[in-house]
Chains A and B, each alone.
Chain A
């Protein structure tokens, strides 16, 4: 039998601490950025099930050589996730926290990450299929020297997901939240 257990600690201090969640948000953001740093450095992602899964390697494309590490040809995308350079998003208010990269600056970011919202394994395993247009054929020929066959209808891009929720992140997030509402120092999560 389960019993109702009285919590001897009053909730008022927790509610008061939670009314200003911004220190928690900053610690959470540092924790999530650390995860993304690790994913980009190791060319892998932490899946929703908690596994560490290698990204698919990137091959050469026409006249363009393969990068030494996927998603790291220029380093700008990885830097933006860390809040540096163009396209970085970091909005922290009492209502919530929003971070990531702007699609207007990094148009392929959503394709790489796996689409909108939470990225699940099924989404991550389904490559993006982009229909080929006449304009695209001209661009690829001019920019990379790639001449697509007339029968090629789609360009297929494997996903390299990152910054997704997973058991480690949610446990750490809850631990930070627990510490914050109990008035404990959050420490350096980065």
Chain B
């Protein structure tokens, strides 16, 4: 199972090369900017120092959590009723696990080098397949899935 990534490959390569904290921070900043550009927020991505795989995993999980949060934070009820609705977020999480949807289309999947298992196609809400193209961002998924 793979999620499409946020971490700039160049930055990760720098981390691998010299292990400098500044480069790790650059990778985190780059990932934060990408996450925020897709999710429309101003989120400081909190990660705990680790090796680059751990860093990637944490960034992916944080992005996933933000995406699911946004998906669930439609406001049921009106007036002074506030809430979270979970069904759409759960459906999205299962779809990502099962490989029928990717989280965010930061990587052009038309390039075979960017494909990985489970990230090769996007099934839209209406069941239309959009294979091997830029997968829609989660914002698109959100628009598709929430009536």
Contact = CB atoms under 8 A, between A and B. Distances in A.
Q: Do A and B come from one complex?
A: yes
Interface of A: 1-12, 14-15, 18-19, 21, 25, 28, 32, 50, 89, 91, 94-103, 106, 109-110, 113, 115-118, 163, 165, 167, 170-171, 173-175, 177-178, 181-182
Interface of B: 1-10, 12, 34, 41-44, 46, 53, 56-57, 60-62, 64-66, 68-70, 72-73, 75-87, 89-90, 93-94, 96-97, 106-107, 113-116, 119
Contacts, number: 161
Given A2-B8, A28-B84, A178 B107 contact: no
Nearest to B79: A110
B79 A167 contact: no
Q: Which 4 A-B pairs have the closest CB atoms?
A: A110-B79, A5-B5, A116-B78, A178-B65
Nearest to A182: B61
Given A15-B94, A18-B90, A175-B65, A95 B85 contact: yes
B32 to A, nearest CB: 11
Contacts of A171: 41, 43-44, 66
Nearest to B115: A4
17 contacts: A4-B4, A4-B107, A5-B5, A7-B2, A18-B68, A18-B93, A21-B86, A89-B81, A94-B86, A110-B78, A116-B79, A170-B66, A174-B43, A174-B65, A175-B65, A178-B64, A181-B65
Contacts of B73: 165, 170, 173
A11 B81 contact: no
A98 B81 contact: yes
B77 A100 contact: yes
A17 to B, nearest CB: 10
